[in-house]
Chains A and B, each alone.
Chain A
Amino acid sequence: MNAEVKMMRTAAEAAYADALTALPAPEAIRSLREKALRLFAEKGLPHRRVEEWKYTDLRALIREMPPLAKGADGAAIAEAKKNSVLTNIGAREITFVNGAFVAELSNLKGLEKGLSITTLADALAKDASLVTLLAKINPNKYDAVFALNTAALNEGILIEVAPGAQITQPIHVRHIVTGTSPVSVFGRAVVKVGAKAQATLVQSHVGPDTVAYQTNTVLQLSVADDAELDVVRVQAEGDKAIHLSMMIGAIGNESRFRSFALTTGGAASRHTVPFAYAGRNARATIAGATLLRGKQHADTTLEIDHAMPGGESRELYKTVLDDEANGVFQGLIIVRPDAQKTDGRMMSAALLLGDNAEMDNKPELEIFADDVQCAHGATTGALDDDLLFYLRARGIPKKEAESLLIQSFFGEAVETIENAKIRDAVMNLAGGWLAARS
Chain B
Amino acid sequence: MALLEVKNLQARVEEKDILRGLNLTVNPGEVHAIMGPNGSGKSTLSYVLAGKSDYEVTGGSATLEGEDLLELEPDERAARGLFLAFQYPIEIPGVASMTFLRTAVNAVRKKRGDEELSTPDFLRLVREKAKELNIDQNMLKRPVNVGFSGGEKKRNEILQMAMLEPKMCVLDETDSGLDIDALKIVADGVNRLRAKNRGFLVITHYQRLLDHIVPDVVHVMAKGKIVRTGGPELAHELEAKGYAAYDNAA
* Residue ranges of A at the interface with B (Cβ–Cβ < 8 Å): 385-387, 389-398, 400-401, 404-405, 407-409, 411-412
Contacts and interface: CB of A to CB of B under 8 A. Distances in A.
A168 B94 CA distance: 30
Contacts of B74: 389, 392-393
Given A404-B99, A412-B94, A397 B86 contact: no
Interface string B92-110: 1111000110011001100
Contact of A398 (B54, B75, B89, B143): B75
Interface residues of B, number: 29
Interface stretch (B45-53, B117-125, B233-241): B45-53
B78 A393 contact: yes
Contact of B75 (A386, A392, A404, A405): A392
Given A390-B90, A408-B95, A411-B94, 7 more contacts: A387-B92, A394-B100, A394-B107, A396-B103, A396-B104, A404-B99, A409-B94
B174 interface: no
B51 A400 contact: no
Contacts of A409: 94
B79 A395 contact: yes
A395 B82 CA distance: 9
A409 B143 CA distance: 12
A393 B50 contact: yes
A161 to B, nearest CB: 35
B90 A394 contact: no
Interface string B51-62: 111100000000
B221 to A, nearest CB: 21
B71 to A, nearest CB: 15
Interface string B162-176: 001000000000000
Contacts, number: 76
Contacts of A405: 92, 94-95
Chain B CB count within 10 A is highest, among A391, A395, A400, for A395
Given A393-B74, A397-B75, A404 B50 contact: no
Interface in B58-90: 73-75, 77-79, 84, 86, 89-90
A386 B84 CA distance: 14
Given A393-B50, A395-B111, A401 B75 contact: yes
The 6 closest A-B pairs by CB, nearest first: A408-B94, A395-B78, A395-B108, A394-B104, A392-B74, A392-B75
B204 interface: no
A390 to B, nearest CB: 6
A425 B80 CA distance: 37
A408 B144 CA distance: 11
A253 to B, nearest CB: 35
A408 B142 CA distance: 13
A381 to B, nearest CB: 14
A398 B104 contact: no
B40 interface: no
B160 interface: yes
Chain B CB count within 10 A is highest, among A385, A386, A396, A412, for A396
A401 B107 CA distance: 11
A397 B79 CA distance: 10
Contacts of B111: 395
B94 A398 contact: no
Nearest to B85: A393
A125 to B, nearest CB: 51
Given A394-B104, A398-B75, A404 B95 contact: yes
A137 B90 CA distance: 49
Contacts of B99: 404
Chain B CB count within 10 A is highest, among A391, A393, A394, for A394
A391 B92 contact: yes
B75 A390 contact: no
A98 B77 CA distance: 53
A395 B52 contact: no
B93 A394 contact: no
B94 A395 contact: no
A210 B93 CA distance: 38
Contact of B51 (A393, A401, A404): A393
B94 A392 contact: no
A387 B75 contact: no
Nearest to B92: A387
B191 to A, nearest CB: 22
Interface in B139-169: 143, 160, 164
A261 B118 CA distance: 34
A282 B84 CA distance: 51
A397 B72 CA distance: 12
B75 A408 contact: no
A238 B160 CA distance: 43
Contact of B78 (A394, A400, A412): A394
Contacts of B103: 396, 400, 404
Contact of A390 (B77, B86, B94, B107): B86
Chain A CB count within 10 A is highest, among B54, B75, B84, for B75
B78 A389 contact: no
Given A391-B92, A404-B95, A396 B75 contact: yes
Contacts of B95: 391, 404-405, 407-408
A394 B54 CA distance: 18
